Structure 1
Amino acid sequence: MSGDVVDLIMQDHREVERLFDKLKNFPDTRALGTPVLSALLIAHSRAEESEVYPAAKDEGGDTEEVAHSQEEHTKAEQMLAKLVAADPESAKYVELLDQLEEAVRHHVEEEETTVLPHMQEHLDEQRRMELGEAFAASRAAHLGERPGEATKEELQWQAHNVGLAGASSMGKAELAKKLKAKAA
């Protein structure tokens, strides 16, 4: 599946919203639905971080919004790890689901009103199609990954996206720590 990267990202956003609604309204789907939500959010985030955000930042000049979006990804991944570890039948799960949903909905709203329109304005259709193909391939490659399992290369993309200096000389643990601190 490829196409305009903006359309592909928005399709994922609608699917994530659908999954949140299902997990909230049909508690019996949580045990199987939570890993699906996790897989989609992680794959989507990794694809944006490696393929979309660098282009939005470097080609579209969207430095501040990309940095902010990257920080939101980091926070959401931390929240997602807690949700995945929670008992789907517990009150804590519901609390974590609500917090994650609120954070993701906020991120989606900001991205759809700033980053994506900016990309439509500053990147031509051919470039958005190229990014769509790269996004789709990256997303497919990352399906099945779990929160907190980013590779050093993925952490370096995240560091680039937030403008973290000296990332290439840091180890994986130090990168993860600095990114977490930046997102806090």
Structure 2
Amino acid sequence: MTAGSDLLTELSADHRTIRELCTEFGGLPPGDGRRKPLLDRLAALLVRHGRTEEACLHPLLRHRPDHEAVAGRGRSEHRAIAELLTELTWRAPDAPGFDRLAADLVARVTAHLDAEEATAFPAAAGAAPAGELDHLGERARRSRTGGPATEHAAAGGLPGTA
């Protein structure tokens, strides 16, 4: 991310990184020792990214009644992803069901990113008053330095899961 980029640029950059981690994770064979640390990195990024969306993107959408449903779907998807992350957090990579849950997580995360890019991002671009996306982009950058980058889903979860 670069100084001065708007919220949608910031979130899109996160999406690229999340997709790369999902692809890397999906390319590792079951039982590979790199899967759990990679999952932990993905979980930390998803938690941070979800909090940024809840703090910056969803309020922007909620300001427009015709976009509230888009924000609601995002929150619902965050809850489902958080449940999978929590379940995977406490499961050993060689435990029964780990690979199925991990595949479900990657599929759900990828679908969520696709939906946001197709629906939420254009809605936010249309709903934002002049300069608001730039202001929110700065807020998103600041929020990344405000909390622990390694916070795990089980410790705090994605927004909307408490």
Question: When the two structures are superposed, what TM-score results if normalisation uses the length of structure 2?
Answer: 0.84
Matches within 5 A, 1:153-168: 158=160
8 Å contact kept, 1:76–1:104: yes
- Aligned residues between the structures: 156
Ranges in structure 1 where 5+ consecutive residues have no aligned partner: 159-174, 177-184
1:63 partnered with 2:72? no
RMSD: 2.3
Matched, 1:121 2:123: no
1:105 aligns with 2:110: yes
Deviation, 1:145, is: 1.8
Residues 2-55 of structure 1, C-alpha deviation per residue, up to 9 Å, x if partnerless? 411111111111111111111121234213211110100000001111222111
2-side partners of 1:41 and 1:140: how far apart? 15
**Bigger Cα displacement from structure 2, 55-64 vs 128-137:** 55-64
Give the Cα–Cα distance (whole angstroms) in 1 for the partners of residues 69 and 155 of structure 2: 26
Partner of 1:4: 6
* Residue number in structure 2 paired with 1:144: 150
Within the candidate set 51, 56, 68, 2:56 is matched to 51
**Match status 1:78 vs 2:83:** yes
The match for 1:21 among 14, 20, 23 is 23
Report the CA distance between 1:59 and its aligned residue.
Answer: 5.2
Structure 2: stretches of 5+ with no match in the other structure: none
Aligned-pair CA distance for 1:110: 1.0
Which one of the candidate residues 25, 38, 41 is aligned to 1:36? 41
- Note if contact 2:43-2:85 (Cα within 8 Å) is conserved in structure 1: yes
Q: Is 2:89–2:154's contact at 8 Å kept on the other side of the alignment?
A: no
Paired-residue identity, %: 23
Counterparts of 2:6 and 2:132 in 1: how far apart (Å)? Answer: 9
Verify the 8 A CA contact 1:31 1:88 in the aligned structure 2.
Answer: yes
Which has the bigger relative contact order, CA under 8 A and spacing at least 6? 2
| Runs of 4+ displaced beyond 6 Å | none
